Amino acid sequence: MFASYARFEITRISRNARYLIFTLFGPTAIFLFNAGATKSKVGGLPWAAYFMISMAAYGALGAALNASGFRLATERASGWVRQLRSTPLTDRAWLGTKVLVSIVLGLPAVLIVVALAIATHGVDGNVGEWVALVAALAAGSVPFAFLGLALGSLLDPDACQAASIAAYLLIAFLGGLFYPITSFPTALRYVADALPASHVAAVARAVFVGHTPQPGDLLGVAAWIVALGAVALWAHRRAEVAVAP
């Protein structure tokens, strides 16, 4: 039941135009336009490699948020969630499937950006570094899947779509995915350091060069997973009460 539902969700969402535009076309286009902006190094990495990780994270996080948020709000409005409650699919399996699907749907964006970085700017790395990068971004997308689930459980489709896009762009911009945090004014650096995107990108950059991530970044990602996971669970239970017969 779990595997069948996961395949169904992945197939359905991958055919959605919003998924293609926001999570595949968006990050790749931004990377192509900006990866050659400078030959300088940022954070010990050539700018092309640094920005590659930023845009790969942007795609992975956007896929997680999109796959779990707006889709859930639409399912609730259409009565699909109520129908699922009559199947053998447990709440735990449902939640796990939503998170797994969100992670899987972020992988194409990561792989496309990586392929472009290698082909157009000669970014290189060994197999272990590439695997570590993909794994770090997959794990880092989990809090965004939970955020999407929370928004999808609490809001109607129109409100959820607006809230998801706003949250996505704000967290990405203020989290330093478009510009290095070192270029921010001092006040905004504190904001960036508190957001999950900055921690996810920092962990990904560390593992890509074979370094151990900073404990603060690992704790930051873990804290956001726990916090947003708790919010998603509360929102899901609240929504269940609202639709209960």
Q: Are 131 and 110 in contact (CB under 8 A)?
A: no
Instruction: For residue 113, give Cα distances in angstroms to 153, 182, 243.
Output: 31, 23, 41
The answer, as to whether pTM is greater than 0.95, is no
| Average pLDDT value over all residues in the chain | 85
Which token pair is 219?
Answer: 């704790």
> Dmax of the chain from CA atoms?
62
> Residue for token digits 């270029």?
183
Pairing of strands 41-42, 45-46: antiparallel
pLDDT digits (tens, 9 = 90+) for 129-143: 999 999 999 999 999
Q: Which residues pair with 46 in a beta bridge?
A: 41
Instruction: For residue 146, give Cα distances in angstroms to 76, 112, 115.
Output: 16, 24, 28
Residue 166 has pLDDT above 70, yes or no: yes
Greater model confidence, 108 or 206 = 206
For residue 69, give the DSSP letter: T
Domain ranges of the chain: 2-243
Greater model confidence, 202 or 35 = 202
Residue 86 has pLDDT above 70, yes or no: no
